[in-house]
Amino acid sequence: MSININELTKLYYTIGEVAEMFNVSKSLIRFWESEFDLLRPHKNSKGDRRFTKQNIEQFNTIYHLVKERGFTLEGAKRELKANKDKIIKTKKTLDSLKNIRGFLNDLKDRI
């Protein structure tokens, strides 16, 4: 699952919008929020979660480790604690490469 952060235009996104972006349930997002200190969306006065681009990037990093690379939650926590900057940089590089591949495939299809 690759979310292009640069395509996000709003300041805040609801939990439902984030769940739709990643094709996961809202309860999974709430659960991961309780499990990972990294993920802390803003809450309004009613307690509704409001996700910024940075929050979505953080969720994307956790999603990558757990859903794409197969880490357990404890393994993902350890990995984030030990190599957070490296993981984020690697994930951004992978996302860029996937975007380039998509662009090239679209270009090939047009030719």
Residue 89's pLDDT is 79
Give the other-Cβ count within 10 Å of 55's Cβ.
Answer: 21
Question: For residue 103, what are the domain limits?
Answer: 5-110
Position 6 scores a pLDDT of 66
Total domains, the chain: 1
Instruction: Quote the pLDDT of residue 93.
Output: 82
> pLDDT tens digit string along 8-40?
888 999 999 999 999 999 999 999 999 998 899
DSSP 43-72: E-TT--EEB-HHHHHHHHHHHIIIIIS---
Low-confidence ranges of the chain (pLDDT < 50): none
Q: What pLDDT is recorded for position 15?
A: 95
Residue 102: predicted pLDDT: 85
CATH number at residue 23: 1.10.1660.10
Q: What is the pLDDT of residue 36?
A: 93
d(CA 47, CA 90): 33
**Which pLDDT does position 87 carry in this prediction?**
76
